[in-house]
Structure 1
């Protein structure tokens, strides 16, 4: 007797909805100010900063911002400001050493056993602190020629057992294109895990549609989906639903955040982020010290304050709600725990 297999995930009746929402994203800083009832003249909006690194923010994410509040933590993450154009010693175009770690078109090798594949340069949102805001995506197009060079670089190194899809945001690609990539990766026998770094389930939760969930559920490896939320207000019922759909596929869902001045640099904000994320089914993973990329110096929190906040967080929360406080140092073989860095210990984390 032939038994029935699992019921396939049914396609959404409007499968193009997330693409339309993407196209409708706000790109004009003054339109954004108007939607929030703010005077653009008092926000220190920089046309030069917007020309260098464009504003892009989905309207659903804007709906979570507080009207009339120029210091809203979500607004602060996306608004181009004059501060971005000020020269900042110690801040560079390639803050984390992506260039020297390039092992093939779109493939970055920094850590033992792992290969990061820059799947695309596209994002649904442009975060002003982005460490790849100056990345040469046109020269590092992993999707060129059907991923051939990237796949060849990964296949040639049997020491790689985990592939990390990053970008840009890999889930900005059509699901059919993602499937073509993972089908090719499945032919490489030494790959045992897949990780996806994505902000889309947070900023554009409609992207987690039935087609994406079906693709994710059918992958042949254990999968970790690492979200990126910096503040509890980034979660709402739509994000909760997207996370639930991800978890239903069997994926492990984690969150990494960046410690940002004026956004989440208080123990109350960090605790709320961990607790709100966990309520949605997301485990805290990393709290990153800011990558020192040109244009982001106004977000930096000094190490002493970061360590103090992390210590307070560990006192307040259960251990599983406390993310690891780390910094990425160019040339290191893993993320460096901040306390170890301060103490001169060179140990690293995954």
Structure 2
């Protein structure tokens, strides 16, 4: 297959601030499909899915898609198809129990010793399988009010020693906004570790700029970044360079992926993903069974098939390159091994 010929704007070909590339993201499914030579696939785009959870794709990410391939694994992750309109029993608006675990504003406190901050509702890319696609971000973002409510919650519970930034995507915030939080966290002696869950180093690697690297490299705690790649084709030279720069600043890099029908549900794809991650300095961490969120049933891989795939990649890779196959069950004290 030839690579996609979607025009990459001049801003992406020249040194540019990541915000400009963010603003120039593709938002029209027809434009995306025409650029891929797939205009006929527009008939399957769901107007209701697009209205509820609109397409958003950085042009650099779209450029990694294969022209003329309606089953491209990257395209499948972002295109709002009519499959999303099916109501399937067992698929709900809050599949992971976030609502029942709310702490302070924008704080999710499910697990002992650690709390997750919903830093923002913004993302550089809208993934169709997102388990928080129905989350009430307008009322629940930790960055609102200068992080005050979230930091107060952490201060009041000295058992919390790890802070996890999630979203949305925390790296969609400016570096100065992230620094507001970490400046406040320095005053909390119980905090010993910071973790960031982000897709931006994969979909918009330009976000890892000098300002960000200076900030993260100066943090006083061990810092873990869990990136999110589901397929080896997502990892290109720019992604590898971003990961390398993070590692040079002492950041520990892990990857979590979601097992999805038509994206990575074969052993060859999963092996290639682990190899590509390790070549970029990232360790495979989790392979999630799909969170059963409304609109995502067409991505689900049955657990029995998932277990067979896990065994197949275990036979082909050293143990440290085999991600843990897990699911999230509301109310459990951690991720549950499948």
Answer whether TM exceeds 0.5 for this pair. yes
Q: Which residue pairs with 1:292 in the alignment?
A: 292
Distance (Å, rounded) in 1 between the aligned partners of 2:27 and 2:39:
17
Deviation at 1:43, TM superposition (A): 5.5
- CA RMSD in angstroms, aligned pairs only: 1.0
Distance (Å, rounded) in 2 between the aligned partners of 1:217 and 1:303:
40
1:117/1:150 contact within 8 Å kept? yes
Q: Which residue pairs with 2:27 in the alignment?
A: 27
Bigger shift: residues 16-25 or 203-212: 16-25
SS in 2 for 1:142: coil
Q: Indicate whether 1:155 and 2:160 are aligned.
A: no
Q: Indicate whether 1:227 and 2:227 are aligned.
A: yes
SS in 2 for 1:70: coil
Q: How does 1:33-72 map to 2 (within 5 A)?
A: 33-41=33-41, 44-72=44-72
2:165/2:196 contact within 8 Å kept? yes
Query: Normalising by structure 2, what TM-score?
Result: 0.95
**Alignment gaps of 5+ in structure 2:** 1-13
SS in 1 for 2:49: helix
Distance (Å, rounded) in 2 between the aligned partners of 1:324 and 1:186:
32
Q: How does 1:315-334 map to 2 (within 5 A)?
A: 315-334=315-334
SS in 2 for 1:239: helix
Deviation at 1:44, TM superposition (A): 1.1
1:30/1:40 contact within 8 Å kept? no
Q: Which residue pairs with 1:86 in the alignment?
A: 86
**Alignment gaps of 5+ in structure 1:** 1-13, 339-350
Q: Which residue pairs with 2:192 in the alignment?
A: 192
- How many residue pairs align between the two structures? 325
Q: How does 1:265-344 map to 2 (within 5 A)?
A: 265-338=265-338
Deviation at 1:304, TM superposition (A): 0.2
Deviation at 1:141, TM superposition (A): 2.0
Q: Which residue pairs with 1:101 in the alignment?
A: 101
4+ residue runs over 4 A deviation: none
Deviation at 1:233, TM superposition (A): 0.2
- The superposition leaves residues 15-63 of structure 1 with CA deviations (integer Å, 9 ceiling, x where unpaired) of 8621000000000000000111112446611111100111000000000
Q: Which residue pairs with 1:344 in the alignment?
A: none
Q: Which residue pairs with 1:6 in the alignment?
A: none
Distance (Å, rounded) in 2 between the aligned partners of 1:278 and 1:40:
37
Q: Which residue pairs with 1:248 in the alignment?
A: 248
Distance (Å, rounded) in 2 between the aligned partners of 1:175 and 1:162:
20
Bigger shift: residues 141-150 or 102-111: 141-150
Q: Which residue pairs with 1:348 in the alignment?
A: none
Bigger shift: residues 43-52 or 216-225: 43-52
Deviation at 1:143, TM superposition (A): 1.5
- The superposition leaves residues 280-308 of structure 1 with CA deviations (integer Å, 9 ceiling, x where unpaired) of 11000000000000000000000000000
Query: Normalising by structure 1, what TM-score?
Result: 0.92
Q: Which residue pairs with 2:202 in the alignment?
A: 202
1:55/1:79 contact within 8 Å kept? yes
